[in-house]
Structure 1
Amino acid sequence: MKPQDIVVLAKLIAYDDPSYTQMELSLSLEMSQSEISSSLKRSTYAGLLINKGQDVERKLFFDFIQFGLPVIFPVHPGAIVRGTVTAHSAEPLAMEFLSDEKYVWPYAKGRDRGQSITPLYPTVPKAVIIDPNLHELLALLDAVRVGRAREKNRALEILEARIC
């Protein structure tokens, strides 16, 4: 598995249409079609995609998020930068966890300043502009990757409701 595989699977869940095309995924995620194809093959091999790659195996994906994501793709907050909010600083957690510290994906056109969180794939900050559902899913995934126990547990509750 590579980090972009998680982004592709999250996009498939946000998109929620098994008739997707690789070209649609490529354009919406700002990834090359070969990267999308390779990602889908890896996810199918891992059992995270079923029905010839058309459906996400949601329970298995959630289990991977809960137990594997923070171990395999950990992240630590970095320098203060301009960017797009993520983790507890983005919806849906932002209203539940009021905090002076913000976490952001570095992005020159971002509206917020905060500690940088490396996104799972470099094009994530641009891709989430046109897809608020994907933004929320990836922000929740970042809360699992970087959050304290309360934020992480709440993110997992929301993710379980949305994914499973």
Structure 2
Amino acid sequence: MKSQDVVILLKLVSLEHGERGHPRLDVHREDPFSVRGLGASLGISKTEVNASVNRSIASGLAVKDRNSGRPKPNRRNLCNFIVHGLKFVFPARPGAMTRGVPTAFAAPSLKSLLISAGEYIYVWPFAKGKIQGQSLEPLFKSVPEAVQKDERLYEYLALVDAIRIGNQRETGVAVERISERLLKSDQR
């Protein structure tokens, strides 16, 4: 398993959620679920996306949809892995102060959930970032760019970082929120 596998799986969850609200009608556009579509939206090579999908299927974190043949995240297994294993497999280590994209509870969709005690916020280093904070390496180097185009993916990855780096209270809130997002069948 590689860290980008989690990014790709969460992108698939985001795409599934978006598809429920707005089914794809344009048959001339690239299929966002395809290896090429995932690679383009995440800044990950097609070869690595394909290898990632195969690893995720082999580990039980994804399955191939019987009808479409698309990779489909096994949400329960993915949630269990994020909640119970991710911080041990891909630990977060804060770094130096830098400009970047806010993550964890500093992300726009999460900052109202907890009141900061005045400590520095965490950011993914990003040259075009406007926020100063303590650097936190993302699960994959292209994450800061990819989340600019997908708010739902941004929320998921920020929650993942809150679980990776948070203390007990922060982790509890993040676990509750990501579990709600991943396990509810009618996310609208």
Q: TM-score range, shorter-chain basis?
A: over 0.9
The structure with more helix, counted as a fraction of residues: 1
Aligned residue among 68, 73, 79 for 2:90: 73
Tell me whether 1:37 sits opposite 2:50 in the alignment: yes
- 1:3 maps to 3
CA distance in 2, matches of 1:10, 1:134: 6
Unpaired runs of 5+ residues, structure 2, are 21-30, 184-188
CA distance in 1, matches of 2:115, 2:97: 18
| Deviation digits for residues 30-77 of structure 1 (CA, Å, limit 9, x no counterpart) | 011001000000000001111355211100100000111011000121
Alignment of 1:99-138 (within 5 A): 99=116, 100=118, 101-138=120-157
Choose 9-18 or 149-158, whichever is displaced more.
9-18
Alignment of 1:79-94 (within 5 A): 79-94=96-111
Instruction: Determine which structure has more spread, i.e. the larger CA radius of gyration.
Output: 2
Overall identity of the aligned pairs, in %: 40
Unpaired runs of 5+ residues, structure 1, are none
TM-score by length of 1: 0.95
The amino acid of 1:15's aligned partner reads L
Q: How many residues end up aligned between the 2 structures?
A: 164
Report the Cα offset of residue 2 of structure 1.
0.2
Check the 8 A contact 1:66/1:156 in 2, yes or no: yes
Aligned residue among 20, 24, 31 for 2:37: 24
Question: Match of 1:12, SS?
Answer: helix
| Deviation digits for residues 126-161 of structure 1 (CA, Å, limit 9, x no counterpart) | 010011111010000000000111111101101011
Question: Match of 2:100, SS?
Answer: strand
Choose 14-23 or 30-39, whichever is displaced more.
14-23
| Deviation digits for residues 106-136 of structure 1 (CA, Å, limit 9, x no counterpart) | 0010010100000000000001001111101
CA distance in 1, matches of 2:165, 2:153: 18
CA distance in 2, matches of 1:97, 1:77: 19
- 1:140 maps to 159
Check the 8 A contact 1:87/1:140 in 2, yes or no: yes
Check the 8 A contact 2:53/2:71 in 1, yes or no: no
TM-score by length of 2: 0.84
CA distance in 2, matches of 1:55, 1:91: 28
CA distance in 2, matches of 1:9, 1:118: 19
